[in-house]
Chains A and B, each alone.
Chain A
Amino acid sequence: DQQVKQNSPSLSVQEGRISILNCDYTNSMFDYFLWYKKYPAEGPTFLISISSIKDKNEDGRFTVFLNKSAKHLSLHIVPSQPGDSAVYFCAAKAGGGNKLTFGTGTQLKVEL
């Protein structure tokens, strides 16, 4: 039962353009959402997060949007840079503790 889904396994974007990565979830108990970036042979690195009481959070080139009614969130990267090429994971938490439920990831490739 995949409670967090990333339906696009890969995405290719030109340098300088916007990258939009999408994530859907099914569990209404999720109240905190995160995006992680992962390079090969490294652990995931935290990028940005959003609480369920908000609909947008921005940090530099990264913005996360949350649509609770649609159970959908997205990560926007503007402008995209070649160094952004990595696998991006969406993750969600419900209540206390640090248990994260991850999506299956989207491989982003930013081309010159």
Chain B
Amino acid sequence: KAGVTQTPRYLIKTRGQQVTLSCSPISGHRSVSWYQQTPGQGLQFLFEYFSETQRNKGNFPGRFSGRQFSNSRSEMNVSTLELGDSALYLCASSLDRGLASNEQFFGPGTRLTVL
């Protein structure tokens, strides 16, 4: 079974631009979550999508948005990029059987650098 895939793996953008990152979950997984990892703030939750609906949202500005498609693939978008958006963006998928023990499987991440 293929794992969680994220594209692209590396991305360089300039301030003010916008970027779209893609995540393909493990086949059959309906929940997709996004996290931002930075040296200063660690791993921070951005949002979670389940059956095409945003189920949870972290404390990030409205420049960060996401969506999920009917095949569970997800994209996240960051508009008006700032230098501080430089980070590793991680996607995680889960089968989500409504249990607290739903295991989340992480992709390798997209390394975004904003110049």
Interface residue ranges, A against B (CB under 8 Å): 31-32, 36, 41-46, 49, 51, 89, 91, 93, 96-105
Contact = CB atoms under 8 A, between A and B. Distances in A.
B103 to A, nearest CB: 5
A98 B42 contact: no
Given A98-B31, A100-B33, A45 B106 contact: yes
A99 B106 contact: no
6 contacts: A36-B106, A43-B92, A45-B106, A89-B43, A97-B56, A100-B43
Q: What range describes how many residues of B lie at the interface?
A: 20 to 34
Contact of B44 (A44, A51, A102): A102
Nearest to A32: B100
Contacts of A42: 108-109
Contact of B33 (A31, A36, A99): A99
A46 B42 contact: no
Contacts of B44: 102
A100 B91 CA distance: 12
Contacts of B58: 99
Q: B42, B44, B58, B108: which has the most chain A beta carbons within 10 Å?
A: B42
